[in-house]
Amino acid sequence: MLADSDLPLFDPARLAAGAAELRQAARDQVADQRATVARDYAAEWAALVVARPEVAARVVAIARAMHAAKPTGSLYVNAVWVRYGEAHGEALNHNLRAPAARWLMEHVPELAGRFRTRNTPGEPTRAR
């Protein structure tokens, strides 16, 4: 009987078996991703504020500066994230933008209602 190493490298049966294994591994990975529990990004932002208050203070300072530069209309939390990264050389988790915007509007009185987020209470649900 021949060992695996004795088979030709480009044997069609061997290639098909390898491709089938790769496809199954990809299917398993997608299934694992879909099976993960939804993360609570609002809780993650709240934990970040407690663990690293300097980050929250910097975000508030950037948002206040943006508010001063543009006193009417909506502000975009993504712009706050970009400016934070440029100023401090640290990228913030983009999944935390909406909870941070809600937190800013709740905790900083002059920013109330300035950020638009999906599914802001009182607004219709917007498409992604």
What confidence score (pLDDT) does residue 128 get? 41
The pair of structure tokens assigned to 55 is: 């980050």
Which residue, 41, 15, 19, 38, is CA-closest to 99?
A: 41
CA-based end-to-end distance of the chain: 58
pTM of the model: 0.64
* Residue-wise pLDDT tens digits, 83-117: 999 999 999 999 899 999 999 999 999 999 899 87
